[in-house]
Structure 1
Amino acid sequence: MANKRTRNRKKFNYNVNLRKKWRKMKKQPTVLCEQMKHNWDPKKTTKQNMHDMGLSYDPNEAVPIPKTKEVMKPKNLKDEEEMDVDNIRSRQTKKKKLDPTKLHVVQELEDLSKLPTNPSRTFRLSAPVVQYCVYMLDKYGDDYKAMARDKKNYYQDTPKQIRQKINIFKGIPAHYNEYLKSKESGKVENMETEALTT
C-alpha cells in the first residue's frame, strides 16, 4: 500500500500554461467607475491607487471595530480620552503614509451619489403576465383573495403573490399608463389582445 504522503503529493499539470496563468494573476483589475478609470495609474498597485484617490482599500483598516478589551478597560472619562489620543498617535506613528494626491476623485464620487436616481423601472413584463394583470384588475379591482380563487389563476398564486405581480405591473409606466388610457377609452379588451401579439 502506498504511503499517504506520496498519494496526496501535488503533481505537475502539463495542461496549464504557467506563463499565461502568471500574466492573468499579474493583470490589473478592470475599473468600471469612470472617475477612477481616468485617474488610475497602471504602474501602481491597487492599494496604492486607492490611497492616492483618498479611498479605502480595506474598510477594516479605515474604520476599525474596537475590541471588547479596549471598550471595557477605561473606567474614568479622563482615562478614556487619554487612551483615545494615545491610540490615534500610536496608529499614526506605526504607518506614516503620504497624503492622498487625487482627492478630487472622492469629491466627484460624492457629487455623483447625491444626484437623484430614476426610480421608474426600465424592464418590461412578458405579454402573458401583462394580460393576466389586466384581466385581474378589470374583473376584481383590489380584491386579491377573489383573484386567487379565479379559474385563470393557472399557477395557483397566493393573494400576496398576485398583489406583488400587480404592484410590479403598476410600477412600470409603459404598461400601467397604457392600461389606464385604454381603461378610460373602454378598450381594455384590445390591450389584452395586443399583449398577446407582442
Structure 2
Amino acid sequence: MGKVRKTKKNTYNYNIDRKKLKRRAKKKAAPRIPCEPIRNAWDYRKSVATNLAEMGLAADPNKLLPICEGTTGNTNVKQRTVRKPYVVDALKAAASVPSKQTMGISSDMVMYVRHMVENYGEDYKAMARDDQNYYQDTPKQIQRKINLYIRHHPQEYQALLASRTKP
C-alpha cells in the first residue's frame, strides 16, 4: 500500500504572467548609481529632481538658467538652497584628478617610430619605402603613428629630432 504525499507538489501556475512580473520588478528596483558621492547622498524616498536640487546639481539645465530674450542680465534666477554641498565638492575633486591613459603605445610601435624618425626625420615618403615598414604603411599612416607617439612622448620626440640634426 502506498504512502500519502503530505507536501504539495510544485506545479506551474498558468494564471500568472511571468513576463509582466519581471517587468514590474525591474521598474520597482532602484537603478544602480555609478557615481559614489551621488549614490551615498541619494534619498530613494524623494524624486530625482529633488535629490539633485539638494545636492546642488540640475536635473534640467534649461529650468536652472532660463534664457531671457531682450535682456542683458538674467534677473529671474531663483536662489536655491543646497543641503548637501559635499557632493559637489567630491565631484570637483574627482574631476580634478588626472585620468589614467588606458591606451598606450606598444614597445614595437615605439621602436618603429624611433627608427623612422632617426633615419628620415619628417620625410614620410622615404619612411614608406623603408625595409622596416613591414605592414606597408602609407605615408599618411606613418604620419598618424608618429603623431600618436608625439602625443604620448613629446619630450622624447624632441630629443630624437635634436639628435638627428646634430651629426
- The reply to whether TM is greater than 0.5 is yes
The answer as to 2:127 corresponding to 1:147 is yes
Paired letter, 1:140: Y
Whole-Å separation in 2 of the counterparts to 1:170 and 1:55:
38
2:124 aligned partner, one-letter code: Y
Q: Considering only aligned residues, what root-mean-square deviation do their CA atoms show, in Å?
A: 3.8
Q: How far 1:105 moved relative to its partner?
A: 1.5
Q: 1:59 to 1:158 in 2, by over 3 A?
A: farther
- TM-score where L is the length of structure 1: 0.53
Answer whether contact 1:121 1:172 (CA < 8 A) is retained.
Answer: no
Segments of structure 2 that go 5 or more residues without pairing to the other structure are 1-15
Aligned to 1:99: 81
Give the AA of the match of 1:31: I
Identity of aligned residues (%): 32
Structure 2 residue aligned with 1:24: 26
Aligned length: 141
Q: Structure 1 unaligned runs (5+)?
A: 1-13, 72-79, 184-198
The separation in 1 between residues aligned to 2:98 and 2:43, in whole angstroms, is 30
2:138 alignment partner, SS class: coil
Q: How far apart, in 1, do the equivalents of 2:18 and 2:115 lie?
A: 58
Distance 1:170 1:117 in 2: 19
Q: CA deviation at 1:53?
A: 0.7
Answering whether residue 47 of structure 2 is matched by residue 45 of structure 1, we say yes
Cα 1:38–1:140 change in 2 (3 A) is same
- Tell me: CA distance 1:42–1:18, structure 2 relative to 1, closer, same or farther (3 Å): same
Q: How does 1:1-198 map to 2 (within 5 A)?
A: 17-66=19-68, 70-71=69-70, 80=71, 85=75, 88=76, 99-113=81-95, 115=96, 117=98, 121-126=101-106, 128-150=108-130, 152=133, 154-159=135-140, 161-172=141-152
Considering fraction of residues, name the structure with more helix.
1
Helix, strand or coil at the partner of 1:22: helix
- The one of the two structures with greater contact order (alpha-carbon pairs below 8 A, sep at least 6) is 1
TM superposition shift of 1:16: 6.8
The alpha-carbon deviation at position 35 of structure 1 amounts to: 1.7
